[in-house]
Structure 1
Amino acid sequence: MPYIVTDNCQRCRFTECISVCPVECFHYDDQMIYIDPDVCIDCGGCVPACPVNAIYDEFNLPEPMRHWVSINRQKSKELPTMTEPADPLPTAEQRRTELELALS
């Protein structure tokens, strides 16, 4: 089952997940990254690499996030492939702090 990037990635776009991915399944826009479910080999290496817990396997995706399955599928077909890690967005650290506060 493929992995799905969720809205925790919005305004972050940390790319540690790209460094550990053995295939080129990540795509990007100016807000976040997405996983192409047809290219993902379900290795799961991206999950622990993501510093904002934005990636889930489709089977364990919380119900309120199910819509991200179709978003990842659609966006990955429209957007360029990200093959190398890149700098996070300028808003990344602020977003990470917001997400950490939401969990506490």
Structure 2
Amino acid sequence: MTLQNQPAYIIKMRAKPGNGDKLFELATIGMEKSGASDRFIILREDDDPDVLWNVEVFRSIEAKESYETSALADELRDEIIDLLAEPPMRIPVHPYSALPLDPA
């Protein structure tokens, strides 16, 4: 599998004040349960704990499409949208380069 065949997103979400912890919990649950991602990282802004950044690389185009139309995605999407202070920003991207981590 080449990186060009792995669709990805960079997503920014801002929770309503005080809802950052719940937003991060739901986002993390979604990434772990879906199994559609090859890798992901969820980041929290140092100066604003209600802002989440997510970089998600899907295993394949099919895995992305399957997740996006799943019951889990529908359930999490509704819960997450209720927590947001503004519409999310989602940028479709493809990885250009990735290095494996050295476990040592």
Is the radius of gyration larger for structure 1 or structure 2? Answer: 2
> Would you say same fold, with TM above 0.5?
no
What is the TM-score with the length of structure 1 in the denominator?
0.35
What is the TM-score with the length of structure 2 in the denominator?
0.35
